[in-house]
């Protein structure tokens, strides 16, 4: 039997990158998936995530256009999950990232980062939890970052938002545990995605070699590296795991 057979997952930021990897892994493990994003097509190219799921697996999937900065919009995602039987798994993955000079960050830039990376997680978790309470439980997985653990002077607003996601996850695990809802955070390291600004300069070969030299496993991560942990946390393999931060970074933070 597949690890997620008979379950329904909602994944924000599910069209591309880590979210796409998680959505595909969930379908491969037997879950039906509601793919939520502001864009339908993957940034990396290829078929839309929900189309790939329907064509390549035996599972059902749908796409919901969702702006995570609008709390009311999450109801459309929850209703879409109801069409499959109701949400069992919520993955709050949508986020943005950009390098910054702390002394130059504007209020608008700060607020945009917080609205997407933190507010979106907060109200995504809230919308899912309300439905999960009615269903008797579920699993909420919030995608943070290693920058939410140790901070980074080059990404101050991003680090602040992701640190808040970490402690929010702990708070929700404490508050929702009695309702049968588990809440955990995943902290990816350097993962091969297109999360950065579209006009960002491509990483040079020299920069990539420098990056790999800081990672004990000697390589950049891929979305499926994170997806495997997300499957564990959503499945009965992690049924006694809540209020945890799981780092997926090839060992990068282990020696910092």
Listed by start position, the domains of the chain span 8-255
Count CB-CB contacts under 10 A for residue 164: 18
Cβ contact 182:241 at 8 Å? yes
Q: Rounded to an integer, what distance in angstroms lies between the CA atom of residue 156 and that of residue 236?
A: 36
Q: Is the pLDDT of residue 162 over 80?
A: yes
Q: Rounded to an integer, what distance in angstroms lies between the CA atom of residue 8 and that of residue 19?
A: 15
Count CB-CB contacts under 10 A for residue 227: 24
- What average pLDDT does the chain have? 95
Average pLDDT estimate for 208-226: 93
The pTM assigned to this predicted structure is 0.95
Cβ contact 165:96 at 8 Å? no
- Could you tell me which residue, 196 or 114, shows the higher pLDDT? 114
Share of the chain above pLDDT 90, in %: 91
Q: What is the pLDDT of residue 9?
A: 98
Kindly give, in sequence order, each residue whose CB lies less than 8 Å from that of residue 2, ignoring residues fewer than 6 positions away: 28, 29, 30
Cβ contact 153:213 at 8 Å? no
Q: Is the pLDDT of residue 13 over 80?
A: yes
Sign for the CA dihedral angle at 161, 129, 21, 234 comes to positive
Instruction: Report pLDDT digits (tens) over 65-100.
Output: 999 999 999 999 999 999 999 999 999 999 999 999
Torsion of CA 132, 133, 138, 141, to 10 degrees: 80
Instruction: Report pLDDT digits (tens) over 165-215.
Output: 999 999 999 999 999 999 999 999 999 987 766 655 667 888 889 889 999
CATH superfamily of 8-255: NAD(P)-binding Rossmann-like Domain (3.40.50.720)
Q: Is the pLDDT of residue 164 over 90?
A: yes
Catalytic residue list: 145, 158, 162
Q: What are phi and psi of 89, to 5 degrees?
A: -135, 130
Q: What is the pLDDT of residue 200?
A: 58
């Amino acid at each position: 039997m597949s690890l997620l057979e008979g379950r329904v997952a909602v994944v924000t930021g599910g069209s591309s990158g880590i979210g796409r990897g998680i959505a595909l892994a969930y379908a491969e493990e037997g879950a039906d998936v509601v793919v939520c994003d502001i864009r339908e097509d993957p940034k990396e190219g290829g078929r839309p995530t929900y189309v790939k799921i329907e064509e390549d697996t035996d599972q059902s999937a749908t796409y919901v256009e969702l702006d995570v900065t609008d709390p009311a919009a999450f109801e459309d995602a929850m209703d879409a999950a109801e069409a499959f039987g109701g949400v069992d798994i919520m993955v709050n993955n949508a986020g943005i990232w950009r390098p910054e000079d702390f002394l130059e960050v504007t209020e608008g830039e700060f607020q945009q980062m917080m609205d997407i990376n933190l507010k979106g997680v907060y109200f995504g978790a809230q919308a899912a939890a309300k439905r999960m309470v009615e269903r008797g439980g579920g699993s909420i997985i919030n995608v943070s970052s290693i920058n939410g653990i140790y901070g980074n002077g080059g990404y101050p607003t991003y680090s602040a938002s992701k640190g808040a996601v970490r402690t929010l996850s702990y708070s929700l695990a404490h508050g929702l545990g009695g309702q049968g809802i588990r809440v955990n955070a995943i902290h990816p390291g350097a993962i091969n995605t297109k999360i950065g600004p579209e006009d960002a300069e491509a990483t040079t070969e020299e920069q990539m070699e420098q990056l790999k030299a800081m990672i004990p496993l000697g390589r950049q991560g891929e979305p499926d590296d994170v997806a495997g942990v997300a499957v564990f946390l959503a499945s009965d393999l992690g049924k006694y795991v809540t209020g945890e931060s799981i780092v997926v970074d090839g060992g990068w933070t282990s020696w910092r």
